[in-house]
Amino acid sequence: MRTAYSVETVRAAERTLMARLPDGALMQRAAAGLAAACAQLLGRVYGSRVVLLVGSGDNGGDALWAGARLARRGAAVTAVLLAPGRAHPGGLAALRRAGGVTVPAADGVPLVERADLVLDGIVGIGGTGGLRAEAVPLAEAAHRSRAAVVAVDLPSGVDADTGQVRGAAVRADLTVTFGTHKPALFVDPAREHAGSVRLVDIGLELPAGPFLEALQHADVARLLPVPAAESDKYRRGVVGIAAGSARYPGAAVLAVSGALRGGAGAVRYVGPAADAVIARYPETLVSDQGPKKAGRVQAWVVGPGAGDDARTVAQVLALDVPVLVDADGLRLAPARDVRRRTAPTLMTPHAGEAAALLGVGRDEVEGARLDAVRELAGRYRATVLLKGSTTLVAGPDGGPVRANATGTPWLATAGSGDVLSGLAGSLLAAGLPALDAASAGAYVHGLAGRFAARHAPAGAHDIADAIPRAWRDVREAGVG
């Protein structure tokens, strides 16, 4: 599991550690890790052209000390000072001792354009707002140039705690972050500014409850249900799918396709698309009695392709088993009915649906995903999975938000969400708590999307077909 902590927590851990260490020790640890990452990226340090973008705080100090290390190994290092009177004095002296030079911001652009490596030390966890005007041309030149761009701790201009990007921000190829990941490194739009991310251990001791978590193969492998010798279909869980309409029968077929690969022992379908479902998946148990009388079901999925069938949504919400509400179901589920439920509820909106539920614009949700997912989870007292370029899952009681790292833009294809709802619903039926069902479901779904769309477009049914491969990949790597 990778974890991220808020700036406040990082600062507190830093204070505790600094009190025990000699002055400047933490910065030296950070700079050593940073210089090593830069050297690896450059291949050959001697003779390379390195430009440091240096702001007024310790983030610039890290860049200056790392620059000094590279200069001692023969790189030609120039520091572009954005706040010349306030650059970190110790770092500045070290760089000069090592043969590095400094220039004012106004002279920086041509140097950045000719650089092999640009180190972004404009601002780190102390930053507020987007880049200031004098830094914007330098960030743009870095993006344009052939230089590798390495962000120090965070790409400058992104909000560390929320992943929001207000105005211009640096776009890095690599971010070298210190002590712990910061939430912005997991959450778009900031995440895509960070490039790949490397964590340098500087000895911070962090509390047990992180702000954000990102599951990895080993975590998901532990969560995925495995049938025991004495399992029957009921012990493995039966998932009910109440989805599809005369107009959208495909949504039902796709939700069933995900559910069949999600670990439940059986899939029951109720709704008007039974013929289409059976034609494609004859192993489905279909019922024309509605959700209440459909037979034993341990978790329901309701909403994909449901059109305006509010009655079915209400019936499912009244059942005392875990329920996943998706797509049309989100619009048709009254908040008070969801809040009243005692069994877990999992809601799976994309940004547009989340925006409609919150009464805000889609851009607002996409720009501040963490706020949106938490707000919805609180309002509905439900677990909420917010789909998108970064899928986030928040539980109703606060606690760490889970960010999914396996997503791919190829998942943005019609019907892909229906597959996910079936898959996550199946995991609920198999007995996983809602937060785990949602985050393991998103993880496997994202991986399946990657397998299905290796350099080529894939349809939602291809994603469903790739779920067993993703599942095997997780289990083989995670459990051995």
Residues forming contacts to ligand NAX in the complex (CB under 6 A) are 10, 14, 26-27, 30, 55-60, 62, 122-129, 131-132, 152-153, 178-179, 202
Residue positions forming the annotated binding site for K(+): 59, 120, 156
Q: Which does 349 bind (CB under 5 to 8 A by kind): ligand NAX, K ion, none?
A: none
Q: Which of 374, 393, 476 is nearest to 433 (CA)?
A: 393
Q: Which does 270 bind (CB under 5 to 8 A by kind): ligand NAX, K ion, none?
A: none
- Give strand ranges (E) for 227-370: 238-242, 266-270, 285-287, 299-302, 323-325, 345-347
Q: Which residues contact 157 (CB under 8 A, 6 or more apart)?
A: 122, 123, 127, 130, 131, 135, 139, 165, 167, 168, 169, 170, 193
Tokens in use for 74? 């023969």
Q: Which does 162 bind (CB under 5 to 8 A by kind): K ion, ligand NAX, none?
A: none
Q: Which does 224 bind (CB under 5 to 8 A by kind): ligand NAX, K ion, none?
A: none
Least distance (Å) between residue 104 CB and ligand NAX? 15
Number of residues that make up the chain: 480
Least distance (Å) between residue 153 CB and K ion? 5
Least distance (Å) between residue 122 CB and K ion? 6
User: CA geometry: angle at 393 spanning 389 and 395, to 5°?
Assistant: 160
Least distance (Å) between residue 119 CB and K ion? 9
Least distance (Å) between residue 124 CB and K ion? 5
Could you say which DSSP state residue 405 is in?
A: S
Q: Which is nearer to ligand NAX, 168 or 266 (CB)?
A: 168
Task: Compute φ and ψ for 400, nearest 5 degrees.
Answer: -60, 140
Q: Which does 79 bind (CB under 5 to 8 A by kind): K ion, ligand NAX, none?
A: none
CB atoms within 10 A of CB 279: 11
Q: Which does 27 bind (CB under 5 to 8 A by kind): ligand NAX, K ion, none?
A: ligand NAX
Q: Measured in whole angstroms, how far is the alpha carbon of residue 138 from the centre of its chain?
A: 28
* Distance (Å, whole) CA 84 – CA 263: 60
Least distance (Å) between residue 161 CB and K ion? 15
Q: Which is nearer to K ion, 133 or 228 (CB)?
A: 133
Least distance (Å) between residue 81 CB and ligand NAX? 12
* Distance (Å, whole) CA 106 – CA 116: 20
How far, CA to CA in Å, does 97 sit from each of 30, 67, 71, 317?
19, 11, 9, 70
Q: Which does 120 bind (CB under 5 to 8 A by kind): ligand NAX, K ion, none?
A: K ion
Helix H segments across 166-248? 190-194, 217-223, 233-236
Q: Which does 125 bind (CB under 5 to 8 A by kind): ligand NAX, K ion, none?
A: ligand NAX
Residue positions forming the annotated binding site for AMP: 387-391, 417
What residues line the site for K ion (CB under 5 A)? 120, 124, 151-152, 156
Q: Which is nearer to ligand NAX, 52 or 357 (CB)?
A: 52
Q: Which is nearer to ligand NAX, 14 or 337 (CB)?
A: 14
Identify the H or E element spanning 392: strand 392-394
Least distance (Å) between residue 12 CB and K ion? 21
Least distance (Å) between residue 261 CB and ligand NAX? 43
CB atoms within 10 A of CB 208: 5
With 0-12 / 13-18 / 19 or more C-beta atoms within 10 angstroms meaning exposed / middle / buried, residue 144 is exposed
Collapse the DSSP code of 45 into the 3-class scheme (helix H, G, I; strand E, B; otherwise coil) and give the result.
Answer: coil
Q: Which does 26 bind (CB under 5 to 8 A by kind): ligand NAX, K ion, none?
A: ligand NAX
Q: Which does 301 bind (CB under 5 to 8 A by kind): K ion, ligand NAX, none?
A: none
Identify the H or E element spanning 14: helix 7-20
Q: Which is nearer to K ion, 57 or 237 (CB)?
A: 57
Least distance (Å) between residue 269 CB and ligand NAX? 52
Q: Which is nearer to K ion, 156 or 284 (CB)?
A: 156
Q: Which is nearer to ligand NAX, 182 or 445 (CB)?
A: 182
Q: Which is nearer to ligand NAX, 122 or 255 (CB)?
A: 122
With 0-12 / 13-18 / 19 or more C-beta atoms within 10 angstroms meaning exposed / middle / buried, residue 398 is exposed
Residue positions forming the annotated binding site for (6S)-NADPHX: 58-62, 124-130, 153, 251, 305, 350, 418
* Distance (Å, whole) CA 266 – CA 396: 28
Tracing tokens 């899952």 back to the chain, one arrives at 393
Q: Which is nearer to ligand NAX, 25 or 109 (CB)?
A: 25
Residue positions forming the annotated binding site: 58-62, 120, 124-130, 153, 156, 251, 305, 350, 387-391, 417-418
Q: Which is nearer to ligand NAX, 58 or 473 (CB)?
A: 58
